[in-house]
A = this chain, B = another copy of it.
């Protein structure tokens, strides 16, 4: 009886943890280390950005977290459970377009919310909502190959968000978007992140974007892919508590820091 109420603080497991994660590809018969000894913990509701040089292993890392690729050593844990396969708890926006070509924009978004909305009408409405949020309401009936690259990527984002995943893995989701659309999408993302209290892992090449959005930035270095720095961003989120203000005095400094980290990490090996 005594122990039941004992207030020993139970540490809730990290939402997402990389534990001694390594990945080796075979290249023409010889092994090639793509990731090596990655250790990191991501708490529930955190917004993480991953940055790093082209080819340093970001996509590989996020794909392992999604359960699409198998780790060679260690693994990725979601609330202490080893990830062995993909699941709807982890939504994913791919680096390359991956819409279903045989489904219209609306139907693509409907795909992931089949279980939430057994009723087709309601499901359609919910999907339309999301299509509208990414600004494509008038294209709801189009097929993917009738859309521009950026439009396709917006549909992919809507599709990943619609099921309300607890963890959202995004591989350069906004790279194909123009500045304005991108700003809008960033804000949407943050709103959703806040509202649903989801954990976001967000790969980007745009350092400004990383600083604008993330709670914490992971810096990866290439050859082999390692985690060289974890940079918590302390700048307050001024705009409705969502994105930061670029013109905030600290912003430029942090950006410079980050840039420096990247340069040294890359130059050491590349």
Contact = CB atoms under 8 A, between A and B. Distances in A.
List the number of copies, as a whole number. 2
28 contacts: A25-B146, A27-B142, A27-B146, A28-B141, A51-B178, A52-B178, A53-B180, A53-B181, A54-B148, A54-B149, A54-B151, A54-B154, A54-B178, A55-B147, A56-B148, A57-B148, A58-B148, A59-B148, A96-B149, A175-B176, A176-B205, A177-B205, A178-B205, A179-B205, A179-B262, A180-B262, A180-B263, A182-B205
Nearest to A53: B178
A259 interface: yes
A248 interface: no
Interface of A: 25, 27-28, 51-59, 95-97, 135, 139, 141-142, 146-151, 154, 172, 175-182, 205-207, 259, 262-263, 266, 270
Given A28-B141, A96-B97, A154-B54, A149 B172 contact: yes
Given A96-B96, A175-B176, A178-B205, 13 more contacts: A25-B146, A52-B178, A54-B150, A54-B176, A54-B177, A54-B181, A55-B139, A59-B148, A177-B205, A179-B205, A180-B263, A180-B266, A182-B205
Which residue of A27, A54, A151, A207 has the most chain B CB atoms within 10 A of its CB atom? A54
Nearest to A262: B180
B55 A151 contact: yes
A131 to B, nearest CB: 13
Contact of A179 (B151, B180, B182, B259): B259
